[in-house]
A and B are shown apart, each in its own frame.
Chain A
Amino acid sequence: MKYILFGLLFTLFACTTWAQKKYTISGHITNASGEELIGATIYEKNSKLGTATNTYGFYSLTLPEGEYEIEYSYLGMETQDQKIKLTENLKINIKLEEREKVIEEVIITAERKNENVLKTEMSTIKLQAKEIKQVTALFGEVDIIKTLQLMPGIQATGEGFSGFNVRGGSPDQNLILFDEATVYNASHLMGFFSVFNNDAVKDVKVYKGDIPAEFGGRLSSLLDIRMNEGNLKKFEATGGIGTISSRLTLEGPIIEDKWSVLISGRRTYADLFLLLSSDEMINSNKLYFYDLNLKTNYKINEKNRVFVSGYFGRDVLKYGDMFSWDWGNYTLTTRWNHLFSERVFSNFSFIYSKYDYKMESGDDLYGFKWVSDLEDLKIKADLTYFLNPNNTVKFGFDGTYHHFNPGYASGPSGDPIVMPESNALEYAIYLSNEHSLGKNLKINYGLRASAFQNMGKATSYNFDENYEKIDSTVYDQWDIYNTFYGLEPRLSINYLLNQRSSLKASYSRTKQYLHLASNSTGGSPLDVWVPSSPNIDPQIADQVAVGYFRNFFNNLFETSVELYYKNMDNQIDFKDHAVLSLNAELEGEFRIGDAWSYGAEFFIRKQQGKFTGWISYTLSKAERKIPEINYGKVYPSSYDRPHNLSIVGVYDLTKRLNVSATWVYATGNPVTFPSGKYEYEGMAVPIFTERNSYRMPDYHRLDLSLTLKGKYKPNKRLRSELNVSVYNVYNRHNAWMITFTQDPENPGVTKAEKIYVFPIIPSLTWNFYF
């Protein structure tokens, strides 16, 4: 396979050498504040050839010598046209201006907004920070992941949770990258909020399948979040005061058009009210989280740029001095963009990321301490060769060093429980090409070769067929004691039926070498990541998808239908009453089997005009079969929700006032309920039979919000807006969990109870910019 690809590439290179004289137009496309635009389109009107900017706002288009009319466009921005005479390589940097939204409805120009139809990529969703902001949020806390949960094929793990499942995969099968750094636990506070502060986010893209060859390491999806780079033109402050948190973002140039910085912070303050209490028992408690984002962007020259970005976030739960528990992520990304030529773009990254938690209780005498962390060091090189308008070749490699410290706990006696630390190396090389064959057919083919090695210093346990420990092997520092490798082909095809509609198909194979030891649907901060090892094979998924994409009314409405089938091998579940923390023999708790999912996703979206929004409906099924679970019979995955409907609408009533509404409906999650009971020491103990054979009640909810912008005054710098939102307007008591309880005095009397967490919740947020 690999050789065929290389062969093919050589043919392509060979083809171009004797063609007619060609020149390259290249450059960066930015918005008014100098922020690079991702996915802006560049289109040559006569030849109908085009391209789009990459994640660094760079584009490159190679055309034969001649005269051209080039159109630069980006959603929500004024399109720019340029007539050029191409007799040499041209560097054209474009600055697009934001369009006043209200007049938009009037001029529906014949703009080329059919990117969704033209691109080979399918099963992707792209959101801008602006769009995310318009969706009503719980407590007014704008949340990227919760907005994504309203998209086809993406589901919330549970009521109010910011965890998500993609096409029947488990939450740990999502690769979450924040400026290329892996975020291992993307949620705050029992999973109700995600760690991404929308003010610091530029662009969000999810791949539900058809993950590009340059990414790997997770089975089901890639969530690629890019942080804002900072205003290169002028100093700017953005912030907000909300019901549960406040935010502030400062950005501006250090050297205009050359060097910018951004710092963004957010903190919840529910616990600050506790300080008002004079009672020490109450005011010494703490419960909050914060996020801090930092980024600096330096343009050395046209050919070289450097970016450094970091994220630091933490949750703190504290009961006076008696007990404290905190957890959080750190990431640091250093990137260097280099243009080898107008046609060869490269990016080199050095990435650090860490997740850790710490729990401490008691005084010196009866103190207890529990720590765990996971660290990654990663290097990555990505090169793009804009060969010609018909071929864009990408290649590169990445290498990661993982260090696992799954847990260390010590109490007063001084004999700690230590889960053995271990290390692993993960690397990959890839090559892909987006290839246009004639006017209507485009193929993107790629191959990723990945490898994973367990490395000492480590202790590996050996288990018998009953998962009982036989013995253990200790490996020295740097000792490589186990290797996995494999090929991950990726393929997508777009057949353009006409300028408004296309048929797409894709196949991808993905491998996952790290697994989250968690058996809960919601996840917990104590969950640890476990590497593949002699006891745990890598997870492997094969996914095929076909789709029909059609735009209506001059691309005003985008619609799509996608069908997918995903088969997943070496899927992880756990034995009954599995002990997943502070268990050195953790691998013995794993139970491995197969899972599969399939479904149909329907999507209608309108992104322009006074009225914007989307409708998404997913019909799906997700099942698993694991020999030791549910008597070896097939059972529904905990994330199997056959019907899932979301309707999102935003309407600009006037220039200053807009309303937004969201309605969601989903079948309840599968759950395990008792089939019988028995009495033991005054307790009614339930008897469970089949796994996930019941369902939670259907979930539905309506959210409304209203945003009023302050009067626009040309000489006033401060602009502000007030947002009133109501979550769960008709106060549906959506079940968060169902419990089975007994009368405390009489185990003979039992009942089921529904616990709901979010009744109708109004909230108020004030946002400002200056």
Chain B
Amino acid sequence: MKNIYIYLLFSVAIMFSCVEDFDVDLNSTYERIIIQGSISSERKAHKVVLSKSADYFSNQQTPRISGATVTISDGTDVFTLSEVSPGVYETDTMTGIPGRTYTLNAIIEGEDYESSCYMNYCPPIDSIQIGYYDYGDYQMEDTFVVVLLYAQEPETEGNYYLWNVYKNEVLETDTLSEKWLETDLFVNGMYISGYQAQWLVANTGDTLTLEMQSVVEGYYDYFYQVMSVTDWNGGPLAGPPANPKGNISNDALGFFLAYSLERDTIIVPPIDERILLEWF
């Protein structure tokens, strides 16, 4: 959490800063195996992507790994994933069950990689609303909107949430940096009223779907660790950069996440029916 404040301070520091491209020769390092995968409480084909690391300036997509054997088990059943495109493996259509621990197993070039993740329960969404800020003269009829969340946060401590937003059924937040994560640390057991869960550009009449995922603490940490070495790099105000700590065995990087989710949909109303948010 301190990262956010350091970043805030940092953003003040760079208010008057300038940026230019910088040439540097970087060393190489040995190839790592990367696993990006998830299983959720939604009924669908769940996806695991296997890839390899590359030189930082390789300037092409990192290599995908084909021909691996990938399975996910919930302790009783074992689901085998099949390769649908190079490096992308999917289960058959199935539903994950909250409260279970899922184990991913991948055999890549004879090496065994494993990861386990608990699927936490997700509280239901009461409703969502659309909020907006008053930009005065700069206000446009359709602009930046805020998706507000209303929900009861459960009594149990240590819940972590991730929010995605879909616009007209297309995932808007398709990279990690666009997702928003929060802990229940200061709001445990409270009724959440008008929490700003996502921000996006949308027009009146657009259909927005807010997806709330209940994720594990390790993923929340992983998100902040990735952000701290990429978009939220605090420079000299932050500590030395370090590799984000995923949950895959055998020196592989990445994360295997099990999550449960809830969704709610709203059609963006005309501006006078949106909730005016106060700047301060």
Contacts and interface: CB of A to CB of B under 8 A. Distances in A.
Given A673-B26, A755-B235, A688 B59 contact: no
A322 B279 contact: yes
Interface in A566-596: 574, 576-582
Contacts, number: 231
A472 interface: no
B29 A687 contact: yes
B53 interface: yes
A741 B56 CA distance: 10
Interface stretch (B8-16, B72-80, B122-130, B209-217): B8-16
Contacts of A525: 9
B215 to A, nearest CB: 13
Given A678-B62, A680-B255, A691 B6 contact: no
B253 A739 contact: no
A413 B186 contact: yes
Contact of B176 (A674, A681, A688, A739): A681
Nearest to B138: A279
A582 B2 contact: yes
A748 B62 contact: yes
A680 B22 contact: no
B114 to A, nearest CB: 18
A230 B75 CA distance: 79
B117 interface: no
Contact of A737 (B57, B188, B233): B233
Contacts of B236: 157-158, 161, 520-522, 736-737
Given A158-B236, A738-B22, A750-B56, A687 B241 contact: no
A733 to B, nearest CB: 6
Contacts of A754: 19-22
Contacts of B245: 576-577
B31 to A, nearest CB: 8
A13 interface: no
Contacts of B179: 681
A582 B5 CA distance: 13
B242 A577 contact: yes
Contacts of B255: 680
A556 B231 CA distance: 54
A486 interface: no
Interface string B56-77: 1111111000000000000000
Given A319-B280, A750-B59, A739 B233 contact: yes
A683 interface: yes
Given A675-B26, A676-B28, A685-B229, A524 B9 contact: yes
Interface string A733-755: 10111111110100111111111
Question: B20, B238, B244 — which one has the most chain A CB atoms within 10 A of its CB?
Answer: B244
Interface stretch (A60-68, A280-288, A491-499, A604-612): A280-288
A284 B280 CA distance: 9
B57 A412 contact: no
A321 B225 CA distance: 30
A526 B6 contact: yes
A627 interface: no
A687 to B, nearest CB: 6
Contacts of B279: 280-281, 320, 322
B53 A733 contact: no
B240 A672 contact: yes
A682 B176 contact: yes
A323 B24 CA distance: 39
11 contacts: A190-B10, A325-B5, A411-B187, A415-B186, A417-B185, A580-B2, A581-B1, A676-B56, A679-B51, A682-B176, A740-B230
The 8 closest A-B pairs by CB, nearest first: A411-B186, A320-B280, A682-B175, A737-B235, A519-B239, A576-B242, A681-B176, A754-B22
Interface of A: 157-158, 161, 190-192, 279-281, 284, 287, 317, 319-323, 325, 359, 365, 368, 409-413, 415, 417, 519-526, 574, 576-582, 638, 672-689, 691-694, 733, 735-742, 744, 747-757, 759
Given A577-B221, A676-B32, A755-B235, 4 more contacts: A413-B186, A582-B2, A674-B26, A737-B235
